[in-house]
Structure 1
Amino acid sequence: MDMVAALDWVHSEVAAFGGDPGRITVGRESARSAGSLDMMWSPLAKGNAAGIISESGALGPRDPLTVTAATSYRTRVAAESFGLNFANQRNVSSITEMRELPVSVLMAEDNISDTILDKSICANVSGFGNPPEWRPVLDGYILPMSYEKALLSNSHWDIPVLTRNNKDEDAASKNPSLTLAEFKIQFKLMLDSLSEEFSNLYPADNDTMAGEVANTLWHDMTRVGMWQWAMYWQEGRARNSVFTYFWTHAPPNQTSGAYHGSELYYVFNNIPYTEPPKTWTANEHRIGDTTVSYWMNFIKTGNPNGHSLERWSANSDRKQIMVLGDSCAEGAISGGARVDFLERFFKAQKPW
């Protein structure tokens, strides 16, 4: 509700600062990007923004990573049960007494994780982890319904969306450490009846290949998941477009690749101001200029395309995604057989 109130204030006051209340774009990254999407889902915030940017990022409603990432939510029943237990453990019996608890008592619980994955197919798969206990609640008021239902019924703001995930984030890693034995055990547990087909599509014969192939799977899941989210958007007959991209560029002087948040140097044009300083080349500035241009076009018009930029198509059944980084071009989200495989895997999962 604090985000709803903040957005309402910006919409009311931005004109006094020279801004246009009709062109507000809500854009955030990581856990905050889920907050951007929450503003899109919530009827309380409707009409206060013209676009959404979600960096790490929208994932398909049946993608298991949705459960573990910042996009995860609790049901009202689960949240109320947790709240009652929390109150009882502190001998609190009323809302008034709850409001009098010191902030330090609440913050002490900030790192508690839920146990929602403990009995799921992903319980023992590296790359997955339980979400925090304190997270958004599907309460029927601020967040009225599940993501899948909202998308398929167009029960959300119908405004342009730009969303992105990075090559070396979530379960993927520039330096994978998964052994072949772990690879075989984990993905058999996760994929069950699809595990034999998985072995044919993602073959690995040694530890090095196991880590590389696992990364390929996570990259595919991320891209297919984003694409599916946007396809749900279209199936719900939303009029506005979704633009998806995959960030592949690794900033200099580090070994973690295109890690979580690595694009932020570029999208905010902060390359010269990093601390500690990095070895920025002309190519780094070129990548930054291109990325900033796409973002500014989207913020101004709801469409990232503009003069002299490579064409960036809105999401469609062509199964394409924009790749930004060392190169700048549209490409397939994955090989056709692997996309079909992941679509069937996602379809069998619980909807969110």
Structure 2
Amino acid sequence: MSTANGPVQGIQAFDAAPPNATIANLNNWQDVAVWKGIPYAASTAGNNRWRPPQPRAPWNTTFVADRFGDGCPTTSGQSPNVSEDCLNLNIWSAANSSDAKLPVILWTHPAGGSGADPLFDGAGMAAQGIVFVNYNHRDGAFGFLALPELTKEFLSDTNANATVGANWAVLDQYAALRWVHGNIAAFGGDPGRITVVGQSAGSAAVYHTVNAPHDLVPEGTVFAAIAESGIRDPRDPLAASLAESYNNATYSLQLGEAFLKVNNATTLSELRKIPWKNLRGTASFPGSGGGFRPTLDGYALSDTYARLLARPPSHSVPLMTGNTRDESGAVFGLNMTLAQYTAAITKQYGTLSERALAAWPASNDSEAEAAFNLHWQDTSRVSSWGFARGWNNVSSSPIYTYFWDHAPPGQNQGAHHMSEINYVFNNLYKTNLPWQLEDYAIARRMSAYWANFARTGRPNVDVDARQDDLPVWRPTLANETVTMRVGDGWGDILIAGKERIRLITDYFNEQVPF
């Protein structure tokens, strides 16, 4: 295959037939190829540390893409090696020619992840007729450090209309997208149908992309967007602490000064000379008051979530978002007494606590555990619905919401954070859990929804007879209090009872929008 940087050569994705290939709709597994570790930008070492991703020098010989590239520092993913030369991506495709024009999924991993993680293997989606791409980006201090010197350098280098230079990881994400748009046709992908998908911190990257200025993400680059365990009502207090959270410029600069001190440095030049393995506090550190995350800079992150939701997005594309049952406050197997439950609800809801305790009643410890989790599950569904209402007010494109409730076998966290990913990507073959036949059937259905969305911007599409059993998934409308249940059941469910919706909405209205 030819890319703008030079030719690349891939390998077969499967060495043998995956388990239950027929049930999983992977009968064409022999057609899937993978190209691993293709650089999309230059090394971030030396003077490129804390700079926007720089162009990669072309190569003259064929780049043999048969192994994953290095992961970025601070990754907890399963990269074979870690270094600052880590801006690389992986492509899975079953296209039989460069003219195939298959839809494309670009996956952004959650915090600490990497493209080499088996959980993000794309061969199962490629078998559905999707060109699947994942990639590495910087994180922690390497991805989000802010200093006055960096701001001056950044503005001098780019002439960007930014208040601070800090969002190196976000700029990596945009660079990867631009690379895919410019090169994916060679791998059988359609550059006009790129769906950006991410989970947790990756879902925040999706929303950043939807709102990115056109000089960073040109108009028409994005076809659709899926934010898993992601975007919430900006009045929801959890929006300020979960994956979509960000720092203001003042705080990021204070954190940068603390980073200088903890590394016994006084200048940017001194920091860049320290080997990356010797840098301290690259994720967070005692006394810092928190970790590194995106900064509201007026450029890569152009505005607050609340203000962004009050105006049309830069890229008005079909959007999907949702949550899992046992995350965002809900804890499977929670051990909580009635007294603890009452105290927690009273502290959270304040003057609304009497209504809250009546909305989620409990008279003993067992009921308290169930009520506490149900209150968080209701909150997640109402929060997604609240965001959808805002989106419907300003966007001409539909939004779809979901609630995942299937617990993978062989673990004790329930339908936990990240538990849907194996099913979405139809890659159960990459995770060592005691999968049952029902898990393969669920994965087949989930991946069909995601693949359809990448094809058409809708979860339902009559592609062929194999998809006749897909329940209808309708857009989330402002006047309907329903979401799509996926996992242990399929179809519309109420986001919560009317009184609970009113209560959660009243609670949100008391908060400062994020």
If the length of structure 2 is used for normalisation, what is the TM-score? 0.62
Match of 1:267 among 409, 415, 424: 424
Match of 1:292 among 435, 438, 447: 447
Name the amino acid aligned to 1:110: A
- How many pairs were matched up? 334
Gaps of 5+ in 2: 1-170, 463-467
Q: Relative to structure 1, is the Cα distance of residues 240 and 112 closer, same or farther in structure 2, using a 3 angstrom cutoff?
A: farther
Q: C-alpha separation between the residues in 2 aligned to 1:293 and 1:277?
A: 22
Residue of structure 1 equivalent to 2:255: 82
Identity, in percent, stands at 35
Q: Relative to structure 1, is the Cα distance of residues 277 and 346 closer, same or farther in structure 2, using a 3 angstrom cutoff?
A: closer
Q: Does 1:56 align with 2:226?
A: no
Q: C-alpha separation between the residues in 1 aligned to 2:487 and 2:431?
A: 21
Residue of structure 2 equivalent to 1:239: 396
Match of 1:26 among 186, 192, 196: 196
What are the Cα deviations for residues 31-84 of structure 1, in whole angstroms up to 9, with x where unaligned?
222222222222122432211111111111111111221111000111112212
Match of 1:35 among 183, 199, 205: 205
Q: C-alpha separation between the residues in 2 aligned to 1:176 and 1:115?
A: 30
Q: C-alpha separation between the residues in 2 aligned to 1:113 and 1:233?
A: 39
Residue of structure 2 equivalent to 1:210: 368
Name the amino acid aligned to 1:34: A
Taking only aligned residues, the RMSD between alpha carbons, in angstroms, comes to 1.9
Contact 2:234 2:305 in 1 (8 A): yes
Q: Does 1:96 align with 2:252?
A: no
Q: C-alpha separation between the residues in 1 aligned to 2:490 and 2:222?
A: 28
Name the amino acid aligned to 1:177: N
Q: Larger Rg: 1 or 2?
A: 2
Gaps of 5+ in 1: 117-131
Match of 1:144 among 302, 310, 314: 302
Name the amino acid aligned to 2:442: I
What are the Cα deviations for residues 255-279 of structure 1, in whole angstroms up to 9, with x where unaligned?
32211111112111123x1442414
Residue of structure 1 equivalent to 2:471: 310
Residue of structure 2 equivalent to 1:276: 432
Contact 1:148 1:232 in 2 (8 A): no
Name the amino acid aligned to 2:512: K
Q: C-alpha separation between the residues in 1 aligned to 2:288 and 2:234?
A: 19
Q: C-alpha separation between the residues in 2 aligned to 1:143 and 1:114?
A: 26
Task: Kindly state the Cα deviation for residue 106 of structure 1 after the two structures are TM-superposed.
Answer: 4.3
Residue of structure 1 equivalent to 2:324: 166
Q: C-alpha separation between the residues in 2 aligned to 1:208 and 1:14?
A: 53
Residue of structure 1 equivalent to 2:140: none
Higher helix share: 1
Match of 2:283 among 97, 110, 115: 110
Residue of structure 2 equivalent to 1:66: 239
If the length of structure 1 is used for normalisation, what is the TM-score? 0.89
Q: C-alpha separation between the residues in 2 aligned to 1:170 and 1:106?
A: 32
- SS of match in other structure, 1:23: strand
Name the amino acid aligned to 2:476: N
Residue of structure 2 equivalent to 1:45: 217
Q: C-alpha separation between the residues in 2 aligned to 1:226 and 1:115?
A: 31
Q: C-alpha separation between the residues in 2 aligned to 1:302 and 1:198?
A: 38
Higher RCO, 1 vs 2 (CA within 8 Å, ≥6 residues apart):
1
Name the amino acid aligned to 1:166: T
Task: Kindly state the Cα deviation for residue 91 of structure 1 after the two structures are TM-superposed.
Answer: 4.5
Q: Relative to structure 1, is the Cα distance of residues 277 and 254 closer, same or farther in structure 2, using a 3 angstrom cutoff?
A: closer
